[in-house]
Amino acid sequence: MSKQQLHPPVGKKVKLSDYDPKYHDGLDKENTKIETTILQKRLKELQTKLFADKSQALLIVLQAMDAGGKDGTIKHVFTGVNPQGVRVAGFKQPSDEELAHDFLWRIHQHVPEKGYIGIFNRSHYEDVLVVRVNNLVPKSVWSKRYDQINNFERMLADNGTRILKFYLHIDRDEQRERFEERLQRPDKNWKFSRGDLKVRAQWDEYMRAYEDVLYRCNTDYAPWFVIPANRKWYRNFVIMKTIIEALEDMNLTYPDPEPDLDKIVIDA
């Protein structure tokens, strides 16, 4: 199995057909799960340091087709971290109030404050995906949003927010299997909507829209990663590793303690 690059080169067009959703880098499932458990401890340590440092924030963007694994990624990758330091925001159909503002208004309110990890389950990219595929606004409107998104993310990065964007890449067969599981299991029926089938019928249009996103909004300050997501254990592993590498690169430190702590005596 040849090595598959997860981060597309900045400035180059992307063809999702070049990315294998089944790719797992030749890794063994059970051994990788053990290593993932070890990584969870490291992620917890770094999140604690981020929370204490309070000079930077981390924003994680998750995008995928329906049943792509956004919820599962949040559940498994962030198992064990302190929930006080994590904020999760989901972006579905905008409300009337949100539609009365610019498309980034509802997004900016959920950007993590310094010291926090923010997770977007869907994001501002819906406005160049769903909006584009379904012709909700004219092309003359949505086509300008790529630059607007880049400027928005540049502003966040310049103000201390590290941004990581993950596209969870599954194929049509895997989506079908996951849909069938949702139909068959009473505890997962609630996750299935007939509207999902309409979106599935638009698969090719969505792939083209995602390819444009991965090309036009892939920057050094807010990189995209194409995550092979058919194998959930590999998906969790590579996302966790990528997050840990980013946090380590942020050079986080604990704040200096109050002076003369060594002289303090706690009364019995």
Q: Which two tokens stand for residue 18?
A: 């070049």
Where do we find the tokens 């690059």? 5
> In the CATH hierarchy, which top-level class contains the domain 16-249?
alpha beta
Q: How confident is the model at residue 2 (pLDDT cuts 50, 70, 90)?
A: low
**245 vs 263, higher pLDDT:** 245
Where exactly are the structural domains of the chain? 16-249
**261 vs 35, higher pLDDT:** 35
**3-class DSSP state for residue 213?**
helix
For 88, the enclosing helix (H) or strand (E) is strand 86-90
**Residue of 199, 246, 262 whose CA lies nearest to 49:** 246
pLDDT at 149 over 80: yes
CA pair distance 60, 72, nearest whole angstrom: 14
Percent residues over pLDDT 70 in the chain:
99
| pTM for this predicted structure | 0.95
CA pair distance 195, 192, nearest whole angstrom: 8
Where do we find the tokens 């067969």? 173
- Beta carbons within 8 Å of 114's beta carbon, 6+ residues apart: 54, 55, 56, 57, 160
- What does the pLDDT average to over 69-88? 95
pLDDT at 1 over 70: no
CA pair distance 136, 228, nearest whole angstrom: 30
Of 46-60, 92-106, 253-267, the range with the lowest mean pLDDT is 253-267
Across the chain, mean pLDDT equals: 95
Q: Which two tokens stand for residue 216?
A: 């036009």
**3-class DSSP state for residue 12?**
coil
Residue 213: the pLDDT is 98
| AA letter at 199 | V
Q: How confident is the model at residue 239 (pLDDT cuts 50, 70, 90)?
A: very high
CA pair distance 214, 143, nearest whole angstrom: 14
- What does the pLDDT average to over 226-251? 98
CA pair distance 69, 8, nearest whole angstrom: 21
The HSE-up count of residue 234 (CA atoms within 13 Å, CB side) is 21
- What does the pLDDT average to over 96-125? 97
Percent residues over pLDDT 90 in the chain:
90
CA pair distance 137, 203, nearest whole angstrom: 20
Residue 259: the pLDDT is 85
